[in-house]
Chains A and B, each alone.
Chain A
Amino acid sequence: GAGVSQSPSNKVTEKGKDVELRCDPISGHTALYWYRQSLGQGLEFLIYFQGNSAPDKSGLPSDRFSAERTGGSVSTLTIQRTQQEDSAVYLCASSLGAGAPNTGELFFGEGSRLTVL
Chain B
Amino acid sequence: AQRVTQPEKLLSVFKGAPVELKCNYSYSGSPELFWYVQYSRQRLQLLLRHISRESIKGFTADLNKGETSFHLKKPFAQEEDSAMYYCALYTGANNLFFGTGTRLTVIP
Contact = CB atoms under 8 A, between A and B. Distances in A.
Q: Is B one of A's binding partners? A: yes
Interface of A: 3-4, 31, 33, 35, 40-43, 45, 48, 50, 55-56, 91, 93, 98, 103-110
A26 B86 CA distance: 22
Contacts of B59: none
B88 interface: yes
Interface in B73-108: 86, 88, 90, 93-101
A45 B90 CA distance: 12
B70 interface: no
Instruction: Give the most central of B49, B86, B96, B100: most A CB within 10 Å.
Output: B96
A67 B9 CA distance: 31
Instruction: Give the most central of B93, B95, B100: most A CB within 10 Å.
Output: B95
B35 to A, nearest CB: 10
B94 to A, nearest CB: 5
B93 A56 contact: yes
B98 A42 contact: yes
Contacts of B17: none
Nearest to A50: B94
Nearest to A38: B100
14 contacts: A35-B98, A40-B9, A45-B96, A48-B94, A48-B95, A50-B94, A55-B94, A98-B94, A103-B90, A104-B88, A104-B90, A105-B46, A108-B45, A110-B43
Contacts of A110: 43
Contacts of A104: 32, 34, 46, 49, 88, 90, 96
B44 interface: yes
